[in-house]
Amino acid sequence: VSTQSTWESQVARRNLQMAKVGEGDPRWIVSDRQDGANVNSWHWVEKDISDTVKQRLEASLQKQTIVELPGCKCVSTEISSYEGECTVYNRKGKISFLLDVKFTISWEGDVLDEKTGASLLSAKGKLIVPEVEHDTNAEKLQVDVTIDNDKKGQPLLDIMRDHGRKFVRGKVAAFLEDLIVGHNIAAKPSNVVTNSPQNKSEEKKVCTASVTEFQQKVEWRAPPDAIWSALTDAGKASAYTRSQAQIQPAAGGNFSFLGGSISGTFANVESCKLIEMNWRLRDWTEGHTSNVSISLDSDEAGTTLMTLKHTNVPAADLERTKQGWKQNFWDPIKMLFGYGYSWK
């Protein structure tokens, strides 16, 4: 047998042995190992740590001295009410988390005789925290202070409005830092632009008298079902937007992103192919809705050509809306799931 024919037969055998992309060859499928290992965190993994978060907050906030002065002492007694959840997400080693909790701390205090230490006045009340999220600025955390008897306990109420708020904000800041460091969670990119002001009371309605439209074409280095899942799975959307998302991907279903900053309804849904939405930003004039169409096509295995058409957009808000898609959706999807993309 000649050297050339031997070389040709070896090449042929290698070609037969090579796994073909997009043709269902099992060698391209990342399957679960028999030992249960998730090698290099390739799979999408989410872990509910809600119970752990509750236990940590209880340990740091209950039965603690809030303030102790020569003529006053106030302590926390218990977390009297608690609601919320926390989930950590891991995809290909990129870790993020979603936190949304609220709680109420019961407190009690005494005005003391500075000489004898005897109690001259006692009072009880509440420290109410209506919301703690993953991106909460603890220094500006809202803490409402109440007292069971306003008239008798006014001196203690004044003290708790100062020291009580500092106590809670300090504990929450330490808790968030411990959560981030303990789970090696990446910080949220500083260039992400949210579509709503930090202070809802300062919202100004965007003029919608003049409207326009735009189109974005993006080629993803991921198959259509992966992009579809990122766009329509509420858990994944909550992870990459770092805020609670609600998605009902069916005609007539509702959706909400970024804490309600973006909301609307689905007009038409074709699985892995087309999404049509009635879409609005919270600070647009009441009743004004734009129209969004997202189509997914694939000319090559393992890639997706996504075309977004956004019409009836207030002209005054064109650039913010265009950048919002990139900075709140496309870039975070790329960062969390590792799906590269390029503009077409």
Greater model confidence, 123 or 17: 123
Rounded (to 5) percent helix, strand, coil in the chain? 30, 35, 30
Residues 108-136: pLDDT tens digits? 999 988 888 888 889 999 999 999 988 88
* pLDDT at position 34: 44
**185 DSSP 8-state letter:** P
* pLDDT at position 249: 96
Residues 184-230: pLDDT tens digits? 665 554 444 444 434 444 455 776 679 999 999 999 999 999 999 99
Residues 6+ apart with CB under 8 A from 21: 28, 301, 302
| Rounded Cα gap, residues 318 and 208, in angstroms | 11
Distances (CA, A) of 120 to 115, 152, 289, 326, 342: 12, 11, 61, 61, 71
| Rounded Cα gap, residues 98 and 244, in angstroms | 7
- List the Cα angle 271/277/278 in 5-degree steps: 160
* pLDDT at position 222: 94
* pLDDT at position 243: 85
Residues 168-184: pLDDT tens digits? 999 999 999 888 877 66
Its pTM surpasses 0.85:
no
Percent of the chain with pLDDT over 90: 52
Average pLDDT of the chain? 82
**141 DSSP 8-state letter:** -
Which is nearest to 338 in space by CA: 23, 33, 96?
96
Residues 271-291: pLDDT tens digits? 999 999 999 999 899 899 999
* pLDDT at position 200: 44
**120 DSSP 8-state letter:** E
